[in-house]
Structure 1
Amino acid sequence: MPGFAVAGLATLVAFLLHLALPAIPLLTAAVGLGMIVGQIPATQRLLDTVLKPGIALAARRLLRIGIVLLGLKLSLYDIAGLGWPTIIVIVLVVGITFAATLGLGRLMRLPGTQPILIAAGFSICGASAIGAMSAVTRSKDEDQATPVALVTLCGTLAIFILPALRFPLGLDYADFGLWVGLSVHDVGQVVATAQIAGPTALAAAVVVKLTRVLTLAPMVAIVGFVKRRRDRRAFRAEDQGRSSAGAESTDRAKRPAIVPLFIVGFLAAVLVRTFLLGDGVMGAAVAGSVLSVADTAQTILLGMALFALGSNIRFATLARTGWRALIVGLASWLLIALLSLAAVALLR
């Protein structure tokens, strides 16, 4: 309870900061507060002792519930309205960015599962994608900290840099919204960036961004399938080495799920949003109320989870070992921005 209470209080403070400075998304403020708290020696001791159980639970369980609720923002009808050329381009941008970032991360010899987590965060949907991918890769909390810090940093910079480039690049409202939706990581950061150019840019950016979010499920499934096959081969080799001693196979016990349960819940939420909370099935008023409550709950849960993830970040450690991850993150950010800009020109 102490850890939960602190995460909840931090989310409230992040909300107040967002009200005072609307350009800063609430979830970005929550991560930032966590990062600040994680650097203070007195609070570090609390985070490592009395607050640790609640913080750990928030970083994992609440994040997954928030991802499920994120599915209620997605309507398959809105995505279909983009047209096949735009959908294909979105999938290509996500796939190319993911593969290139993963390859660069491995080339730079990033530790643990950092390469695949950074790839997921930058190519799909920021910290939410990192949390989802960490479930199927069974990543440690310290492996998540650096990717979360990087997507928060680059996403926050995008809020200020992309609007400044709009006029030099000659982008109209719709093109700018498409560029933002394709290249900015977190949904809140997309909203904060696109709304500067007005409602037309915002509408285009949100639909494109949520279409990127939908690629989370197949990407997690692919990674889960690959990991399952690799683990099966490793477990079989291990079991063969122990077979002479009569040890039982642990293959089934150790296999990770191909698709975590909360990703199934995310897809179910997308279907509910499309067919039950769409046009007229439950009534506009009822559907609007349900979506409003779900959106508030999702924001609170993700705010608490991202504060918890941010509190695991230690700048002193990043200064010693994080420079390679910073290079990978900045390169991935530049790549997706350029790919997205090329996509905008292609779709004109």
Structure 2
Amino acid sequence: MSQSAKALPSHDRVGQQQKKPAPDSSFGLWLAGIAFTVAIAAIGFALAKVPGFDRVGPLACAIVISVAYRQFFGYPEKIRSGIQFSSKRFLRFAIILYGLKLNIDVILHQGLGLLVRDIGVITFAILATVWLGKLLKAESSLVLLLGVGTGVCGAAAIAAVSPILKTKDEDTAIAVGIIALVGTIFSITYTIIRPFLHVSAIHYGIWSGISLHEIAHVALAGAPAGQDALAIALLAKLGRVLLLIPLCFILMYWMKRKDTENTQETKIEFPWFLIGFILMSLFGSYVLGKSIPVSKGVMDGVSSATTFILTSAMVGLGLNVSLRDLRTKAARPLIAMLITSVLLSVITFFIA
């Protein structure tokens, strides 16, 4: 073979290398993608301070903004790598930090009775939502996410189980948006009907804690009934957050068994971020405030940072949502979740 013939493939390879973006350019676009999600999250946070939107929360506001951006301007493909990094890595990091909100010591010493009811609530919410979803012929993956979100702790629970269930980013974003909307409606409804219920503040607090969707919703509904009601409401809610840990392992086992029955060889990745969640929970429960004194202001700052990181991750998920698909996919799961939420509120009112 002549030297000129051998040189041709080498020349082609050089040409191909020249067509690839320079490393600095790729890194810059990656940073731009992260900056984009952070910017939208900041806008979501600002919007959530506006009267009316403050009831919905920054996560839902950021998702709405990112969905609207997708519909008007399309997906920003050039910075996709950074956006995907935010939607996946930020999501897991936020769940790890979320563990600091869970005081295991308080639950084990004061909330064991509530924990039993919390187990019943989670079981009922998931099974009822999935069953209703089948009756309505709704999207199964979306229905399961909503069942978990309704039973455990809203958006955080959905974010935690979505990697295990291998759900689409679009379904995760839709589920988070629905859970934020429905949970807000229910928490506001609770505050409106509270004066007409003629129950004690403790009863009302337990009811709020074991039936409402997110910690923010429980705080919103429980605060008007006084500090005692709010404290017991948050305790009941944190019991449900604690149960997210065994639920994730149950779902892992279910997914592996499902793949085996379908003769698939799909590998279920172990959710290492869940170990981080457990470690942070233990650290927050037994070290912070005891061996290491920390002010309430610092903890509030960490909580806000956690929410902001999770909101940034939601932007990446929201950009994957198509309004055309939303109209066809969201209606039936929403109905299933609404029915479950109403039934859950009625049943838990009598067992609180």
TM-score normalised by L of structure 1: 0.83
Distance in 2 separating the partners of 1:227 and 1:41:
32
Structure 1 residue aligned with 2:233: 205
Ranges of 4+ aligned residues in structure 1 off by more than 6 Å: none
Distance in 1 separating the partners of 2:204 and 2:318:
30
SS in 1 for 2:39: helix
Alignment map for 1:238-249 (pairs within 5 Å):
none
Instruction: State how many pairs are aligned.
Output: 322
In structure 1, the gaps of 5 or more residues are 239-250
Contact 2:202 2:228 in 1 (8 A): yes
Alignment map for 1:99-248 (pairs within 5 Å):
99-111=127-139, 113-235=141-263
1:31 partner letter: A
Alignment pair present for 1:281 and 2:291: yes
1:210-263 CA-to-partner distances (Å, cap 9, x unmatched) read 11111111111101101112213433xx6xxxxxxxxxxxx4xx3204x51111
1:192 partner letter: L
TM-score normalised by L of structure 2: 0.82
1:113-160 CA-to-partner distances (Å, cap 9, x unmatched) read 122211111111111111211111111112223322220110121232
Distance in 2 separating the partners of 1:230 and 1:177:
39
Distance in 2 separating the partners of 1:142 and 1:92:
29
Coordinate RMSD, CA, aligned? 2.5
SS in 2 for 1:255: coil
Distance in 2 separating the partners of 1:60 and 1:340:
35
Cα distance change on mapping 1:312 and 1:174 into 2, 3 Å: farther
Distance in 1 separating the partners of 2:93 and 2:258:
28
1:323, distance to aligned residue in structure 2 (A): 2.0
Radius of gyration: which is bigger? 2
1:305-342 CA-to-partner distances (Å, cap 9, x unmatched) read 23333444344332234321121121121122123212
Alignment map for 1:1-348 (pairs within 5 Å):
1-21=31-51, 24=54, 28-40=57-69, 43-45=72-74, 47-111=75-139, 113-235=141-263, 251=265, 254-257=266-269, 259-278=270-289, 280-282=290-292, 284-285=293-294, 291-344=299-352
- Bigger mean CA deviation after superposition, 202-211 or 27-36: 27-36
1:298, distance to aligned residue in structure 2 (A): 0.9
In structure 2, the gaps of 5 or more residues are 1-30
1:68, distance to aligned residue in structure 2 (A): 0.9
Contact 2:114 2:239 in 1 (8 A): no
Contact 1:182 1:208 in 2 (8 A): yes
- Bigger mean CA deviation after superposition, 114-123 or 335-344: 335-344
Distance in 1 separating the partners of 2:283 and 2:304:
17
Cα distance change on mapping 1:14 and 1:322 into 2, 3 Å: closer
2:204 partner letter: F
1:88, distance to aligned residue in structure 2 (A): 0.7
Contact 2:88 2:313 in 1 (8 A): yes
Contact 1:66 1:302 in 2 (8 A): yes
1:22, distance to aligned residue in structure 2 (A): 8.7
Identical-pair percentage: 27
2:268 partner letter: P
Distance in 2 separating the partners of 1:292 and 1:32:
21
SS in 2 for 1:125: coil
